[in-house]
Every structure is written in C-alpha cells, then in structure tokens.
Chains A and B, each alone.
Chain A
Amino acid sequence: MAQIKLGSKYSIKLTFWNTVFFILVAAGLYSTYVRFFHGLGASTHLSDKFPWGIWIGFDILCGVGLAAGGFTLAAVVYIFNIKRYKPIVRPAVLTAFLGYLLVIFALMFDLGRPYRIWHPILHWNPPHY
C-alpha cells in the first residue's frame, strides 16, 4: 500500500477508503471554490423556479432529524426516569450536537450571506397582523 509522508512524524496510508475520502474532500473543496467565487447558480444549478434543493432537503432536514432523536431520548430518560436507557443518553446527545453542527456547516454554503447567520437571533420577525 502506498504511503504519503507528511513531514518526519506523520504519514497517511492510501487504503481504499482513504482514497475514497480523499476524492470526496477534493470534490468538496472544488464545490466550495465554485460556490464562493461563481455563486450558488453555478455550484448547485438551483434557479428561481427551484430556490431550495438537495442541500436544504438532505443536510438541513437530516441534521435536524438526527438532533431531534437525541433530544427526544434525553427528554424521555430524564422526564420518565427510565434508568435502563441512561447509558445511551450521552452518545445520543453528542450525535444530536453533531447533527446541528452539520446543519450549521451546510448553512454556511447554502445561505447567500453566511456571515449573517446570527441575524434571526436579533432581528425578529414580528407577527404580521
């Protein structure tokens, strides 16, 4: 198996899965370049007819869905005091946290102005009647 040396200390073995992940990372970096230099239209082929696409559908909904499971489990364990499930609360909450992290990461690409992601916290939308 081929090895890539990174300095004197670290080296990466080029196993099958490592190669797959390298290709994925390269594709991701290229998409990032297209997104932030040529816009959302060029990188996602979204249009005025389809303003929301697979980034919202998959990343956002899957991430939130993953998080919802963890928090529901935590609520069940603490409210109903079911001690048998207590050992899986910590991994579940960690997974939930990672789910929300995935959502935020995906939003950084999908929002037109990612640096304004904090706006919903301050700029509330008052009920419109």
Chain B
Amino acid sequence: MGYGYLFDTTLCIGCESCMDACHEEHQQPDTENYELSDKNFTVVKNKTISDEDIYYRRMCMHCENPSCASVCPVGAFQKTKEGPVIYDGSLCMGCRYCMVACPFDVPKYEWSKALPLVKKCDMCYDRIKQGKQPACAEACPTGATLFGKREELIEIARERLKNDKDKYYPYIYGLKEAGGTSLLYISSVPITELGFKMKGFQEAFPQYTWKVMKEIPNVVTFGGVFLYGLSWIINRRIKLEKMNADGNGNNGIHPEEEE
C-alpha cells in the first residue's frame, strides 16, 4: 500500500494555507470560491456544530479501488502504487463518465473551455516521485493534514483516538469507505454531520459492476454458440420439411403455410 493523508479536523484552524499552496503548485489563480472546481483541487470548509467551529478539507479521496478508473472508457485514470489516483489528459475524450461515477463528486470539468478536460487532485504525484511531500501537507502549519504511508497513518489515527477519548468521535473515515481510501479523516463529531456519505459505502464500487461485467465474455461466447445452433436446427428443419414436401408431390406441409 502506498502513501496517504491523515486529516484531523480538531487540529485544523481554517487558515487555507493548503488551498494557497495547491493553487501555487498547479498554477491556478486564488479564488473566493469554496467549492471543488476545475480551479480548486482542495477547499477548506467550515461548519458549526453545537457551538464548535469545525474546519475540514475536501479533496480527491484517492480510493484504493477507484470508480473513476473503473468506468473510464479510455483508461485515462490510474491508481498508482504510490497511492495517488492520477489522470492522463492526453487520453481523455471528455465524456464525463468519471464525474457521474465518483462517489465523492471529485472530478471537475472545464465548462468554459472549447476543448475541456477533467481536473482533479493528483496528490502532487510529481513531488511524491521526487521524494517530497504534497504541497498542501507541506504548507499545513498545525499538522492537521499529515502525509505518510497509509499503514503508519492508520496507526497514528488509532493512537489518537485511544489516547484522547473525550476529544474524538471514535471512527476513522476512509478505512473501509468505498473499499478504503488513501485519505483518512478523524473528527470530533460524527463525520456524516460534515456531509461525508457513509450509507452503502462499505464496499468498493467497481466490485458491484464487476460481478456483472466479468460474465460478459461468457455471455458473448455461449450466447453466440447457442444462437448459431438454434439457427442451424431451424434451417435444417425447414430444409427437411421442404424435401419431404417435394418428395410427396407437394402433398406435405408447405413451409410458407406453416409459418
């Protein structure tokens, strides 16, 4: 297993350093928009739950078994062994299937361009290959965004939940969601209250379609053989009936009439 992030909402102060670092890394202008878009690969969101200001980040979850990669008809998405789910813009034909498929609504489209592409967080794959941290994790001043090996991050998260039972809601989001994600969230409130979906998220989504898709070669092969056999039998019967009818001086059954 590769790298991932551990995001701790109790440590986030909402300074938006991660957003600025991300914009700088990807040469995007700073925006006042706090929704994911083709110009915002990560956003800091804010929610007040029982008089507590909670700041949390939204970005690509980098699923272990990503739906976007599963549905892409041209194979433009790829889960790398380092952890990031990367996107190859030179293959993409812009069909937007990934946007429909993503359970976390992450891939975004360049709606105002004549020849648009899909845009999303790539966990700074180039930086990871150089042995550096992603820009947002490096910029985070409080350690709310922690970058590292996923297994080690799981250990850190469990440790924090165990040592500070009053502070945390005892759940690590991302451990099993959508078959496991490279992003892990721990929070002081149930994570569903921050808008993260959980119901029906315990299995990797491509597994649902795979149950059907893996049968397609069988259906095509055996279906073809079956229909060819059917055609052969029917044609042979018609031929035999015709021969029979001819042999009896046209007293037998006429194939045209029988139909």
Q: Do A39 and B113 touch across chains, with their CB atoms under 8 A apart?
A: yes
Given A40-B116, A42-B112, A129-B210, the answer on whether A51 and B96 have CB atoms closer than 8 Å is yes
Given A39-B110, A126-B75, the answer on whether A79 and B96 have CB atoms closer than 8 Å is no
Bound-state CA distance A40–B109 (Å) is: 10
> B245 an interface residue at 8 Å Cβ cutoff?
no
User: Which residue on chain A has the smallest CB distance to residue B228?
Assistant: A79
Bound-state CA distance A97–B70 (Å) is: 29
Smallest CB separation, A61 vs chain B (Å): 14
Q: Do B114 and A36 touch across chains, with their CB atoms under 8 A apart?
A: yes
Q: Do B72 and A125 touch across chains, with their CB atoms under 8 A apart?
A: yes
Q: Do A111 and B93 touch across chains, with their CB atoms under 8 A apart?
A: yes
Bound-state CA distance A103–B50 (Å) is: 52
Question: Interface range on chain B: under 10, 10 to 19, 20 to 34, or 35 or more?
Answer: 35 or more
> A9 an interface residue at 8 Å Cβ cutoff?
no
Given A113-B93, A126-B75, A129-B65, the answer on whether A41 and B111 have CB atoms closer than 8 Å is yes
Residues on B with beta carbons closer than 8 Å to the beta carbon of A46:
111
Residues on B with beta carbons closer than 8 Å to the beta carbon of A36:
114
Residues on A with beta carbons closer than 8 Å to the beta carbon of B95:
110-112
Instruction: Choose among A35, A41, A119 the residue that contacts B74 (Cβ–Cβ < 8 A).
Output: A119
Q: Do B108 and A48 touch across chains, with their CB atoms under 8 A apart?
A: yes
User: Which residue on chain A has the smallest CB distance to residue B117?
Assistant: A112
Q: Do A51 and B93 touch across chains, with their CB atoms under 8 A apart?
A: no
Residues on A with beta carbons closer than 8 Å to the beta carbon of B37:
48
Select the residue from B93, B210, B213, B214 with max chain A CB neighbours within 10 A: B93
Given A47-B111, A78-B231, A123-B74, the answer on whether A39 and B116 have CB atoms closer than 8 Å is yes
Given A39-B113, A48-B37, the answer on whether A127 and B108 have CB atoms closer than 8 Å is no
Residues on A with beta carbons closer than 8 Å to the beta carbon of B108:
48
Q: Do A125 and B73 touch across chains, with their CB atoms under 8 A apart?
A: yes
Chain B, residues 209-234, CB within 8 Å of chain A (1/0): the string is 01001100000000000010011001
B residues lining the A interface (CB < 8 Å): 35-37, 65-66, 69-70, 72-76, 79, 91-96, 99-100, 105, 108-118, 206, 210, 213-214, 227, 230-231, 234-235, 238, 256, 259
Could you give 19 example pairs across A and B, Cβ below 8 Å? A38-B114, A40-B116, A41-B111, A42-B111, A48-B35, A79-B231, A80-B231, A81-B235, A82-B259, A83-B259, A111-B93, A111-B94, A119-B91, A120-B93, A123-B74, A123-B91, A125-B72, A125-B73, A125-B75
Report the 10 A-B pairs with minimum CB-CB distance, sorted nearest first: A112-B94, A41-B111, A116-B93, A125-B75, A51-B99, A51-B96, A112-B116, A119-B74, A79-B231, A120-B73
